[in-house]
Amino acid sequence: MTDFRQDFFRFAASQRALLFGEFLTKAGRTSPYFFNAGMFSTGAALAELSEFYAKAIRAAGIEFDVLFGSAYKGIPLAAAVAMTLARDGRDVPFCFNRKEAKDHGEGGIIVGAPLRGRVMIIDDVISAGISVRESVSIIRHAQAEPCAVAIALDRMERGNGASSAVQEVEQTYGIPVIAIATLDDLIGFVKSEPRYASHLDAVIAYRDRYGTSSHAN
């Protein structure tokens, strides 16, 4: 596990965005960990989170022309990542969508830069993939090309079938999903942090039970 992924989990835990215990998921599963990107709710926390997104995006080496923040959680993330990249020497345009089209002023559903060229979608996580589907539709309707999705955490967890939500997005749209970190990275983090050692067996058991076949050990 690269240092920035371990640092990401340490940061997430400090913000209580990452918790360990017993949590009931929307799928009715009892998870030994809980990740909530909504806890990155201060200016300093959002700025630091955007650093991790930028590191993951750079590490992936995917070329893109525009950042697209999917409403609603992706909006501040795309803006923050754009500012971080600009500070590091790459001034990238960004935009986001409205949930309802505006019928006055500039009109339409897109706010910010025009959708053109290769577009990277920014979001917090991928659960059912609904947000990604909407984003891909908007981007393609504008005659632009969705080239990747960047998220904070890949839970590597099966949905209704054999694939995870992330794998389904990659298979359906033919675009890669860039995650700051994955469930496997989380296990590596727990192994390296004595204070979380008591949760290791539960996290591994959860991955082995609900993880995708390509990931489970």
Q: Are 180 and 57 in contact (CB under 8 A)?
A: no
Catalytic residue among 26, 102, 141, 199: 102
Which one of the listed residues 104, 141, 191, 215 is annotated catalytic? 104
d(CA 182, CA 197): 18
Question: Does residue 102 carry a catalytic annotation?
Answer: yes
Integer Cα distance of 40 and 155 in angstroms: 18
The three-state (H, E, C) secondary structure of 53-112, written as one string: HHHHHHHHCCCCCEEEECCCCHHHHHHHHHHHHHHCCCCCCEEEEEEEEECCCCCEEEEE
Burial of 56 (0-12, 13-18, 19+ CB in 10 A): buried
Pairing of strands 66-69, 30-35: unpaired
Residues pairing with 177 in the sheet? 149
Cα 7 to Cα 107: distance, rounded to the nearest angstrom: 42
Give the span between the Cα atoms of 85 and 112, in whole angstroms: 17
Catalytic residues: 102, 104
